[in-house]
Amino acid sequence: MALFGFGRPRPGEAERRRIEGWARQAGGYGEAVVVKVNEIVCADPACPGFETVILVMAPGVRSVAGKIAKPLSDVTHEDVIATIPASS
């Protein structure tokens, strides 16, 4: 039994890991690069409601954020490829 929710996967965790893997592959990022994936509610009335943000943090380089105007569950491999810059 998971006490206070510890040990239980967070909602959307499988989607986050899937999208993170696609982002790593699309950007050619190694283990030194941190890739974080989050779903946020966009407060702008022009937004579709939920969007997925992929944050890429590489040592010695300015962090880059890519946004996909879809909830985590709707993001495709092609969406990630179009959003992530290749490593240099």
Domain harbouring 24, CATH code: 3.30.160
| Residue 7: predicted pLDDT | 59
| Residue 1: predicted pLDDT | 47
| Residue 73: predicted pLDDT | 93
Regions of the chain short of the pLDDT cut 70: 1-11, 86-88
| Residue 68: predicted pLDDT | 94
Domain annotation covers residue 62: yes
Domain annotation covers residue 55: yes
Query: Between the CA atoms of 9, 15, 18 and 24, what dihedral angle is there, to the nearest 10 degrees?
Result: -100
Residues of the domain holding 28: 11-83
Domain annotation covers residue 4: no
Domain annotation covers residue 2: no
56 in helix, strand or coil? strand
| Residue 49: predicted pLDDT | 86
pLDDT tens profile 6-30 = 555 566 889 999 999 999 999 999 9
- Distance linking the first and last C-alpha atoms of the chain: 45
